[in-house]
Amino acid sequence: MSTQRCLLGSLVGGIVLFFLGYALYGILILFAGFFEANAGSATGVNRESFDFVSLLLGQFAWGGMLTLLMDWKRVSTPVEGMKLGAIAGGLFFLGIDLTLYATTNISNLTAALADVVIAAALFGVTGAVVATVVGKKAPA
């Protein structure tokens, strides 16, 4: 994959993850009540306001990871990208959330596992978009 396509995939993936994640967790707060009800005993761990620069840079890193995985797996369609994105996102967040559950009091197990499902959906949608933009084209 060319550097230009890798950067494009990282950018597009990061933007999709940022806005879709912000819509679910920030603006619409679709899962706020659920996560509040399933919070652990830790207090004072959430920031009053997000550090949007760091958040956006983190989403670009996730977009880059998805782009590289798609290149390695030679993903060529949005459906393949959605499958790969959902599996990769689900596995990464399963590792992250279970590790946090095992070592912190931020959330209970129910919230940790629900976050894995949400992440799989976010990464699945993002994978489809990234595959549409930079997926391998079939030879003519």
Residue 12 half-sphere exposure, CB side, CA atoms within 13 Å? 19
Query: Whole-angstrom Cα distance, residue 51 to residue 27?
Result: 15
The first and second tokens of residue 126, run together, are 């993002």
Instruction: Dump pLDDT digits (tens) for 88-130.
Output: 999 999 999 999 999 999 889 999 999 999 999 999 999 999 9
Would you say residue 78 has pLDDT above 70? yes
Confidence of residue 43 (pLDDT cuts 50, 70, 90): confident
Domain assignments of the chain as residue spans, ordered by start: 3-39+50-134
Average pLDDT value over all residues in the chain: 88
H or E segment at 44?
Answer: none
SS3 34: helix
H or E segment at 120?
Answer: helix 109-134
Would you say residue 38 has pLDDT above 90? no
Global pTM reads: 0.88
Which residue is associated with the tokens 């978009």? Answer: 129
- Residues 66 and 123: beta-carbon distance below 8 Å: yes
pLDDT value, residue 60: 95
